[in-house]
Chains A and B, each alone.
Chain A
Amino acid sequence: MDDFIAARSQMALSLGFHIVFSCIGMVMPFFMAIAHFYWLKTKDPVYKNITKAWSKGVAIFFATGAVSGTVLSFELGLLWPNFMKNAGPIFGMPFSLEGTAFFIEAIALGFFLYGWERFNPWFHWFTGVVVGISGILSGILVVAANSWMNSPSGFDYVNGQYINIDPIKAMFNAAWFEQALHMCIAAFAATGFAVAGVHALMIIRRKNIKFHTMAFRIAIVFAAVAALLQPLSGDISAKSVAKRQPAKLAAMEAHFKTEKFSPLIIGGVPDTKTKEVNYAIKIPGLLSLMTYDDFNAEVTGLDRIPEKDQPPIAITHYAFQIMVALGMLMLALALVYLIALFKKKNWLTAPWFLKLFVAAIPLGFIALEAGWTVTEVGRQPWIIQGVMRTADAVTPMPGIRYSFYLFTAVYLSLSLVVIFMLYRQIKMVPKMYDVPISNPAISKS
């Protein structure tokens, strides 16, 4: 493996790992806050148990999210020093604000985890909400940094020099809003389906049905709402990509030929030699309509983009297809849930219904990773779109492949341990929280 590919793979691995933990760390506090709210309102101890069980999960994910994030802040320099040397001062604004958001999140988490029975219950509840809000803020900020790489602004690039730097302008670049919105919704969809699925599985296994049913209900509502909104936000993203990164859009769609009345290409195997997409479904005119709201609009194809500026077409195209397909699938699941909720109450407890949601556990996270692959691979060969090439940014240190092997081993074992821990957490639910109602002494506490 050559060092450049190793550096890219290590970056992708670290981010792909971090994103899972950070999304859960970002979204779970809201689930917790809802359960906690019901506990304070209804005094039903099951809600308290749900809150406590989830808060342990949050603590585990927060810690892993935090360490993997710390690794990232060093990796930017360890792997891409020439990028950071120039970009650091320009796109650093969101990172410096993010520091504040993280800090508040960490402090609030300290209050929340260690504050049971210590503070006014509503103050305690509020600290949990603060954990969630500051988590979302950090997510938005870091995505604003990433969107700057897609849509650089806030500086002038003259003769290889970066001048007239304006960090505020750089932060509010043309892509930040679309990306941040899409990212946040994705976090809710992915985490919501995963959490709901796990609880559905427990209901099927007939364990602590009450506990898991209530937990399922909280998670699935978030997931369903997010899944309904996601395609809308994705459409906004696609329009914005068309404007700022035509090469990325062309690669996503495997759209080889610039033309008016462009077809939307669904699925298929792009062949870069013949410039054809085989076995695909093509819907005439739809791509033009979707990107420019006009059947006759011309959509730039790969033929207008010099070979050396083209992203890897196949990966970008497949990743985009996977994301959209899973997005549609999750939309369908959300509709099934809503129908069950309002029209067919008997579905809610049917095994096929629960199994459907068990099957959906990984969907959101797969879509999430696929979406980032579209964004990042679709930006190649640029690290800063149109300004700096990724190959010019990489560290001069040789032997990065060993570092990549090391990180792979560490992340693999970390993932295994986290899965193992969660498994134990869930396995212990009956022992720790399944309190027979006839024992009021314990269930009150």
Chain B
Amino acid sequence: MMLYVVIVYLWVALLLYLLLGGADFGAGIIELFTSEDNKAKARKILYHAIGPIWEANHMWLIIAIVILFVGFPAIYTTMSIHLHIPLVIMLMGIVARGTAFAFRNYDAVTDNMQKVYNKIFVYSSFITPLFLGIIAGSAVSGKIDVHADTFLSAYLFSWLNWFSVTIGLFTVSLCGFLAAIFLIGETREPDERKRFVRKAWQMNIAAVISGGLVFVSATSDKIPLVQWVFGNAVGITAVAAATVSLIILWYLIIKGRSKSLRLLAGFQITMILLTTTYKHYPNIVILKNGGYLSLIENRGADKAIEALALALLIGSLFILPALVYLIYSFQKRDNKGSLSET
């Protein structure tokens, strides 16, 4: 019982990281692909939109990690060993991005250093989700070989393959898409709105293309992705629901509405995560030669799982109301239009 509580929290933490953290990365990605003169504006809207909840965003990742190492240590350590290199690169991205974000907002002097912070911020906003996707892709790619005897096969080809890389690119475009949708809701002027709608469109196309590439590379890497996604009712339903909601989303955008866009986009990402994890459950790591690491078989001691579940449940009692109130207060502020700063 408690085991399932923990698993649900793990999934939700990943989902929320993908949604909230993803929108946050995506904002940097959009900035990367925005022309020079529009950058400053995009940045300002972005800062007002994510500033207050920014600190809380990457907590979801930490929670997922803690759940893994307390509840499923064998999975955590296998990934740590065989995906060491992409994990380190992702960490570098997180460090660079987090500090650049803080510096550009809190630096007392505004001068050329801002340019440096911005550069670091946008590039690391690209690198971090790219490698996050690569890590997620590698986990299910069946390329992790725990019996490998050469450096390359044990530590490099475990993640450096077409499938993982295309999943990385797909993640990047999803983040960009989320951010564009999110920012549409933040804009006040028609011009700005138009700009973000165009960005959302571009990111949507990028997601479709990279999503297609994922299927192509899956075939060439002999990964039965089509069967995972379409081979079961849940997968098909989720894909259908995501498609329908995408159509509704674009209909609403064209109609000039801003309400519910975020919910729809969030819903799509949820469906995508659901399809990709459902068929695997409970095996979250697929190894070379058909082995796998299951959440059920690799759970830690019962007492540890129990304590972890309790900690998560009690923690939520404190966190959720506070987080909701935080988002609510600043949403209210923005609607009033008074953008008072620190």
Contact = CB atoms under 8 A, between A and B. Distances in A.
Interface of A: 52, 55-56, 59-60, 62-64, 66-71, 73-74, 76-78, 81-82, 84-86, 88-90, 92-93, 95-100, 102-104, 106-111, 113-119, 162, 165-168, 395-399, 403, 406, 410, 414, 417, 421, 424-425, 427-428, 432
18 contacts: A55-B342, A56-B342, A62-B102, A66-B55, A70-B61, A77-B76, A77-B80, A81-B81, A93-B311, A96-B307, A99-B59, A103-B63, A110-B52, A167-B308, A395-B80, A395-B81, A403-B88, A414-B95
Contacts of A52: 342
A417 B65 CA distance: 28
Contacts of B109: 424, 427-428
A399 B95 CA distance: 22
Contacts of A98: 66
- Counting chain B CB atoms within 10 Å of each CB, the highest count among A66, A98, A109, A432 belongs to A66
Contacts of A395: 80-81, 84
B315 interface: yes
A107 B323 contact: yes
A71 B91 contact: yes
A88 B301 CA distance: 10
B315 A68 contact: no
Contact of B103 (A60, A85, A406): A60
A71 B62 contact: no
B107 A107 contact: no
A421 B307 CA distance: 42
Q: Is the interface of A mostly helix, strand, loop or mixed?
A: helix
A410 to B, nearest CB: 6
Nearest to B57: A106
Given A90-B304, A92-B308, A395-B84, 14 more contacts: A66-B98, A70-B58, A74-B65, A74-B80, A77-B69, A85-B77, A89-B73, A96-B311, A102-B62, A111-B52, A165-B301, A165-B304, A398-B151, A406-B92
Contacts of B308: 92-93, 96, 167
Contact residues of B: prevailing secondary structure: helix
B326 A111 contact: yes
B95 A103 contact: no
Contacts of B219: none
B324 to A, nearest CB: 10
Nearest to B54: A110
Interface in B295-325: 300-301, 303-305, 307-308, 311-312, 314-315, 318-319, 322-323
B253 to A, nearest CB: 29
B65 A73 contact: yes
Interface string B80-122: 1100100110011011001101110111110000000000000
Contacts of B155: 397
A64 to B, nearest CB: 6
Contacts of A89: 70-71, 73, 300-301, 304-305
Contact of A116 (B65, B94, B340): B340
B70 A96 contact: yes
B312 A96 contact: yes
Contacts of A399: 151
A77 B318 CA distance: 29
Interface of B: 51-56, 58-59, 61-63, 65-67, 69-71, 73-74, 76-77, 79-81, 84, 87-88, 91-92, 94-95, 98-99, 101-103, 105-109, 151, 154-155, 300-301, 303-305, 307-308, 311-312, 314-315, 318-319, 322-323, 326, 329-330, 333, 340-342
Contact of B59 (A85, A103, A119, A396): A103
A52 B67 CA distance: 36
B55 A62 contact: yes
Nearest to B151: A398
Contact of A167 (B55, B304, B326): B304
A88 B70 contact: yes
A349 B338 CA distance: 44
Given A70-B58, A92-B308, A397-B84, A421 B66 contact: no
B95 A67 contact: yes
A117 B329 CA distance: 12
B304 A92 contact: yes
Given A73-B66, A118-B333, A414-B99, A106 B300 contact: no
A71 B55 contact: no
Contacts of A104: 318-319, 322
A424 B108 contact: yes
B98 A92 contact: no
B84 A68 contact: no
Contacts of B107: 421, 424
A110 to B, nearest CB: 4
Contact of A88 (B69, B84, B311): B69
A32 B137 CA distance: 45
Given A59-B106, A63-B99, A71-B91, A100 B81 contact: no
A166 B303 contact: yes
A269 B318 CA distance: 52
B54 to A, nearest CB: 8
A110 B56 CA distance: 8
Closest 3 CB pairs between A and B? A92-B70, A77-B80, A89-B300
A97 B311 contact: yes
Contact of A410 (B92, B98, B303): B92
A69 to B, nearest CB: 8
Given A110-B53, A165-B301, A165-B303, A99 B315 contact: yes
B16 to A, nearest CB: 12
Contacts of A102: 59, 62
B55 A106 contact: yes
A438 B11 CA distance: 59
A90 B98 CA distance: 31
Q: Determine which residue in A60, A62, A77, A90 has the highest number of CB atoms from chain B within 10 A of its CB, and name it.
A: A77
A90 B71 CA distance: 10
Contacts of A93: 70, 304, 307-308, 311
Contacts of A406: 88, 92
Contacts of A118: 329, 333, 340
B99 to A, nearest CB: 6
B95 A68 contact: yes
A168 B319 CA distance: 22
